[in-house]
């Protein structure tokens, strides 16, 4: 076990059951150092939820979570309220955004695509035919 291990957190099955039965997770983000995100958005997408989130103040281009559904990203409290009301009153759009975002999350952020991305980055930094010298 380590500090970041889920075993250290008392997470009841109720949380995951609730998440699995939800259409939306509202995620305000973590805007203090050192990072913006947590595991919550990833859990939500894995459970089939749309994540309505605040626009990160940090660079998330390495893992562009905000591009899974740009509509669900808000920059202000008023924009947040407007978007939530719209989604609440337009269930067809909510379902469309949710399903599209979940499919894109599975396409780009599951184990195989992340491993392929990692290998791609590694191959960009390794020169063909180069050997590391032993000293």
Task: Tell me the pLDDT of the chain (135 aa) as tens digits.
Answer: 444 555 545 566 677 777 778 899 898 866 655 555 677 888 888 889 999 998 887 778 887 888 999 999 999 999 999 999 999 999 999 999 999 999 999 998 888 988 898 898 899 888 776 565 554
Give the C-alpha separation, 34 to 63, whole Å. 16
**pLDDT the model gives residue 68:** 93
- Sequence-separated (6 or more) residues with CB below 8 Å from residue 113: 107
Per-residue burial over 68-99, b if 16 or more Cβ lie within 10 Å, else e, is bbeebbbeeeeebeebbeebeeeeeebeebbe
**pLDDT the model gives residue 2:** 45
**pTM of the predicted model as reported, rounded to 2 decimal places:** 0.72
**pLDDT the model gives residue 77:** 93
The token duo for 37 is: 């995100």
Environment class of 24 (CB within 10 Å of its CB; exposed 0-12, middle 13-18, buried 19+): middle
CA distances (Å), 119 to each of 6, 86, 91, 97, 124, in order?
Answer: 27, 41, 40, 30, 9
**pLDDT the model gives residue 32:** 57
**pLDDT the model gives residue 57:** 78
**pLDDT the model gives residue 100:** 96
Q: How many residues can be counted in the chain?
A: 135
Give the C-alpha separation, 120 to 41, whole Å. 25
Give the C-alpha separation, 97 to 52, whole Å. 10
């Amino acid at each position: 076990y380590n500090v970041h291990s889920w075993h250290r957190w008392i997470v009841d099955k109720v949380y995951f059951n609730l998440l699995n039965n939800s259409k939306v997770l509202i995620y305000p983000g973590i805007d203090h150092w050192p990072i913006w995100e947590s595991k919550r958005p990833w859990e939500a997408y894995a459970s089939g939820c749309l994540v309505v989130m605040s626009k990160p103040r940090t660079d998330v281009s390495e893992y562009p979570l905000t591009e899974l559904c740009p509509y669900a990203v808000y920059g202000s409290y008023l924009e947040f309220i407007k978007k939530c009301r719209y989604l609440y009153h337009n269930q067809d759009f909510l379902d469309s955004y949710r399903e599209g975002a979940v499919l894109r999350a599975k396409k780009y952020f599951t184990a195989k695509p992340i491993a392929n991305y990692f290998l791609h980055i590694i191959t960009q930094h390794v020169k063909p035919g180069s050997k590391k010298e032993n000293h």
